Amino acid sequence: MRFRLCRDRLELELRVLRMGRDLQVALSGGTAHLGAVALAAPGAAEADALVLPGHREDQLARRMARRMADALGCAVCVSAGIHYADISKEEIAAVERLTETLTEQCLAALAAKQKDEAC
């Protein structure tokens, strides 16, 4: 599954791969790369994260992994890498909002797919 949202120069893409009952999620935007990886299990207090030096995607990855793991009842691994040159504070806030929207769109699509497969 793929999801994409744009706002001005910002474009984020979310890709989802099923791994058995669990999910591998890739979030990218701008110059795509690996900046942080977060892993969450349903009901766990926090998502664990690995962050490359100088990168700040860990909070996005943690929130996304935590939200999806709790909603879906499975383990979720989120890899995130977003880079826009000279990004402003307003654009960072927009990236956070776009990420939340992508997460909710993905959860809705997965719920609909699960419902269709149950019939």
For tokens 């030096």, name the residue: 53
CATH of the domain at 23: 3.30.230
On whether the CB atoms of residues 81 and 27 are closer than 8 A, the answer is yes
pLDDT of residue 119: 43
**10-residue block means of pLDDT along the chain (119 residues)?**
96 97 97 96 94 96 97 97 97 97 97 70
pLDDT of residue 63: 96
Which residue segment(s) compose the domain that 82 sits in? 2-118
For tokens 């000279």, name the residue: 86
Number of domains the chain is built from: 1
pLDDT of residue 117: 63
Q: What is the pTM of this model?
A: 0.92
**Close Cβ partners of 59 (under 8 Å, ≥ 6 residues apart):** none
**Close Cβ partners of 97 (under 8 Å, ≥ 6 residues apart):** none
What one-letter code names the amino acid at 42? P
Which of the 8 DSSP states describes residue 46?
Answer: S
Q: What's the CA gap between 119 and 110, in Å, rounded?
A: 15
Q: What's the CA gap between 43 and 98, in Å, rounded?
A: 25
